[in-house]
Amino acid sequence: QKEVEQNSGPLSVPEGAIASLNCTYSDRGSQSFFWYRQYSGKSPELIMSIYSNGDKEDGRFTAQLNKASQYVSLLIRDSQPSDSATYLCAVRGSSASKIIFGSGTRLSIRP
C-alpha cells in the first residue's frame, strides 16, 4: 500500500463545473495535509493546507479532511481552463521530518 494514494486521472471536467480530487493516506498519525498544483515542467505551487478535520475554504478552493477515514479532498468550484494541471496531495506524517507526496491527479478542464 502506498503511503499517499491518488487517482492518476486524467480527470476531465467541463468549464464552470466542480472538480473533485481525492487522496488517501496510510499513516494515522499524520499531522498536516497540503494540496499543490503543478503545471507541466514547472515546480509545485501550494494551493491549500489543512490541519484539522472539516472544511477549509479559500476562494474557489475547498479542502476537506477526515482523519478517521484517512481521507483528504480538494474541490475546485467554477473550474477554469487555467486549472488544468496535475494536483499533488502531500502529507506530513507522524515523523514530522518527512512530507510524502502522492503521484498526482491530472485534471483537464474542457471548454
Please state, in angstroms and rounded to a whole number, the distance separating the CA atoms of residues 27 and 51. Answer: 14
* Grid cell of 12 as nine digits: 476531465
The full 3-state SS of 42-89, as one line of letters, equals CCCEEEEEECCCEEEEECCEEEEEECCCCEEEEEECCCCHHHCEEEEE
Q: According to the binding rule CB under 8 A, does residue 85 interact with other proteins?
A: no
- Taking the least distance from each CB to other proteins, the nearer of 14 and 39 is 39
Q: According to the binding rule CB under 8 A, does residue 88 interact with other proteins?
A: yes
User: Which one-letter amino acid corresponds to residue 13?
Assistant: V
Is the omega angle on the peptide bond into residue 10 within 30 degrees of 0, that is, cis? yes
- Taking the least distance from each CB to other proteins, the nearer of 71 and 101 is 101
- Taking the least distance from each CB to other proteins, the nearer of 48 and 79 is 48
**Under rule CB under 8 A, how many of the chain's residues touch other proteins?**
23
Q: In this chain, which stretch among 19-27, 54-62, 77-85, 95-103 interacts with other proteins, using CB under 8 A?
A: 95-103
Residue 26-65 contact track with other proteins, rule CB under 8 A, x = bound: -----xx-x------xxxxxx--x-x--------------
Could you tell me which of 64, 60, 51, 53 has the C-alpha nearest to residue 21? 64
Q: In this chain, which stretch among 14-22, 64-72, 77-85, 88-96 interacts with other proteins, using CB under 8 A?
A: 88-96
